[in-house]
Homo-oligomer: A and B are copies of this chain.
Amino acid sequence: MATQTDSDAALRIASGRKAFVEPLRLGERLKEIRLSNHWTLEDVSQRTGLARSTLSKIENDQISPTFSAVQKLIGGLGIDLPQLLTPPKPQSHTLGRRDLTRVGEGQQHPTPTYEHELLSWQLAQKRMIPFKTIVRARSFDEFQEWVRHDGEEFLMVLDGDILLYTEFYEPLRLTHGDSIYFDSDMGHALVSVSESDAVVLSVCTRGENA
């Protein structure tokens, strides 16, 4: 990709910056790790081979350490880089409690047929979407059209019994504990056939790469 017009190049540049990396308060994170281990600057100095003064400056964001310095840090402290890069609080995991419906986090999407509840948020960077669905539909006729979306879907019945209608296969009866994995661009629809509404867990893949 060498020969292109300027505008084209500019466009490429703009769209290329998909993953923006915030300034990242490295020092803060580092200090956190140090203190949580009850280490002094001297301790860290011994472990890493970096000078006390240098460490101090790094922690206070007065300098941007060399990559080799960073390597000494992760080597000496026995930590991983992802860890070091993980912003202080925004966790690399999201927790979904069974009874806890967080406002604005575990988002809900009620429809006449389904009621979805996301089990994870901060999904921007994630590759799967897990959610719990209450199946309200009692008959296949309630659907105007197939449900269909790119990617793949794993599904497990948590509660009740359902019929899984698919575009190309016979309806499949699934009960508590049963699971299935299918291409979700094949039309599909769930119907509850139990006394109460059925509950299923779904995990879908997200759009290709990005």
Contact = CB atoms under 8 A, between A and B. Distances in A.
Interface of A: 1-2, 9, 12-13, 16-21, 24, 26, 37-40, 42-43, 46-47, 64-72, 74-83, 85-86, 91-99, 119-120, 126-128, 130, 151-152, 154, 156, 158, 166-169, 172, 174-183, 185-186, 201, 203, 205, 209
Contact of A76 (B16, B68, B94, B126): B16
A70 to B, nearest CB: 5
Contact of A70 (B67, B130, B177, B181): B67
A83 B168 contact: yes
B68 A127 contact: no
A89 to B, nearest CB: 11
- Number of this chain's copies in the complex: 2
A26 B78 contact: no
Contacts of A98: 175-178
A40 B186 CA distance: 26
20 contacts: A1-B43, A2-B43, A66-B66, A66-B67, A67-B69, A82-B82, A83-B167, A83-B168, A83-B186, A92-B168, A94-B181, A95-B174, A95-B179, A120-B154, A126-B181, A127-B151, A128-B205, A130-B154, A130-B203, A203-B203
